[in-house]
Amino acid sequence: MYENKTKETPVKAVLACVDTGEFDAETSIAELSELARTANAETVAEVIQKRPTFDSAVCMGAGRLEELREQIKMLDAELVIFDHELTGAQVRNIEDILDVRVIDRTTLILDIFAQRARTKEGKLQVELAQQKYRLPRLVGMGTALSRLGGGIGTRGPGETKLETDRRHIRRRIEYLENELEQLKKHRSFSRSRRKKDGVLCAAIVGYTNVGKSTLLNALTDAGVIAENKLFATLDITSRAIELPDGRSVMLIDTVGLIRRLPHELVEAFKSTLEEVASADIILNVCDISSPECEEQAEVTEKLLSELGCDGIPKINVFNKSDKLLNADCVPPFRITDYNNVMISARHHSGFDRLLECIIKNLPETARRMKMLIPYEDTAFIAEIRREGKVFSEEYTENGTEIDALVDIKLIKSAEKYII
């Protein structure tokens, strides 16, 4: 996308935004600055221009761009990042005026995703999003794409380089979609296998950089990268934990969300996000220390609704509660019920309450029970062991005393043995 001089030296970037009243420009450009930092770019200036509409040719007003050009020279900036989606023609026109590299918000996010993807599926999803975003913008990518092609691999000297590239990208998109379809089938098989085996799943969702990976690490020692950056982790991680009632739950960490997440990425990551729709419970992690906590929670709620998750039990997990002493933050929900909990993943506080809330919201699939089973009914212990889990057993003169997790199918039969 853009080249950095060295790995250690950040690219000097100017952020530009046109405020048409469609969204909060100040908040959005602050988030863009965080995205730039994540991509190893240093924000040296922020420019916001109020306009009723975008300029179709150059997005901003031409006069404001001339002022920006002088500012770029003074600051020795190497890159301008627009907080909007630009067409290929707009990028070309703006670059002609500013004489520096120009990218837009979507290109920046796609680049960060490309850096963060580690698994085969993650890399395929990101490349698919990049190719779909690139295809309609080829026309604005300069004169290099209008040269005539000839020879093997083209359709003769009458075809332009632009047409050749379009065909190549379409073929690549088709290949990537086929590969992802195979991985989607495998993921679907894994989900159905978990359901068949009675494995309970809890999906961890939330805005990017709210501490989802830190929470997963704290609960399971998963060893997932957890940095103070947007989209520090991209690939799905699954780890099992044992609840206080003896049941096991598979925790699934999902990709972070963000305002105005590019449509191409939402589409590409649909198969990954489907993990949330098949979960038994959803943990919606929010950063309680952020002034935008309530708004971030709403972004997550909206996407969950689009994925068809309305009927799945959900717990709002307010993370970073250790920062409340230094911030004027009020939880947007009541913390007194079992649908909301305050924690600090960094300091491992509030976890007992969190696990209690998970137990209360999970469907009852098994129950922990203490029983005294007569020796003539010993076969029932073998059945409990086969369907559930025996934590301890002690032989007494009246029978076997056991502490066990009893599968829901056997609870009625087991109730007569309860101590």
Q: What is the pLDDT of residues 323-345, one digit of tens each?
A: 775 445 555 555 667 888 999 98
Are 70 and 213 contained in the same domain?
no
Are 102 and 70 contained in the same domain?
yes
Are 281 and 216 contained in the same domain?
yes
Query: Is the pTM of the predicted complex or chain greater than 0.75?
Result: no
pLDDT of residue 304: 80
Are 49 and 142 contained in the same domain?
no
pLDDT of residue 303: 77
Asked whether residue 168 carries a pLDDT value surpassing 60, the answer given is yes
Give the pLDDT band (50/70/90) at residue 141.
low
Residue 269, domain member (yes or no): yes
Are 208 and 336 contained in the same domain?
yes
pLDDT of residue 223: 52
Asked whether residue 149 carries a pLDDT value surpassing 70, the answer given is no
Residue 158, domain member (yes or no): yes
Are 318 and 382 contained in the same domain?
no
Are 149 and 213 contained in the same domain?
no
Are 121 and 108 contained in the same domain?
no
Q: Could you list the residue range(s) of the whole structural domain that residue 51 is in?
A: 11-112
Give the pLDDT band (50/70/90) at residue 171.
very high
Are 80 and 127 contained in the same domain?
no
Digit-coded pLDDT (tens) for 215-225: 888 888 755 44
Residue 74, domain member (yes or no): yes
pLDDT of residue 272: 60
Question: Which carries the bigger pLDDT value, residue 141 or residue 69?
Answer: 69
Out of 58, 90, 112, a domain closes at: 112
Asked whether residue 119 carries a pLDDT value surpassing 80, the answer given is no
Give the pLDDT band (50/70/90) at residue 232.
very low
Please write down the HEC assignment for all residues of the chain: CCCCCCCCCCEEEEEEEEECCCCCHHHHHHHHHHHHHHCCEEEEEEEEEECCCCECCCECCHHHHHHHHHHHHHHCCCEEEECCCCCHHHHHHHHHHHCCEEEEHHHHHHHHHHHHCCCHHHHHHHHHHHHHHHHHHHHHCCHHHHCECCCCCCCCCCCEHHHHHHHHHHHHHHHHHHHHHHHHHHHHHHHHHHHHCCCEEEEEEEECCCCHHHHHHHHHCCCCCCCCCCCCCCCCEEEEEECCCCCEEEEEECCCECCCCCHHHHHHCHHHHHHHHCCCEEEEEEECCCCCHHHHHHHHHHHHHHCCCCCCCEEEEEECHHHHHHCCCCCCCCCCCCCEEECECCCCECHHHHHHHHHHHCCCCEEEEEEEECHHHHHHHHHHHHHCEEEEEEEECCEEEEEEEEEHHHHHHHHHHEC
Asked whether residue 372 carries a pLDDT value surpassing 90, the answer given is yes
Are 104 and 33 contained in the same domain?
yes
Out of 61, 81, 112, a domain closes at: 112
Out of 151, 180, 209, a domain closes at: 180
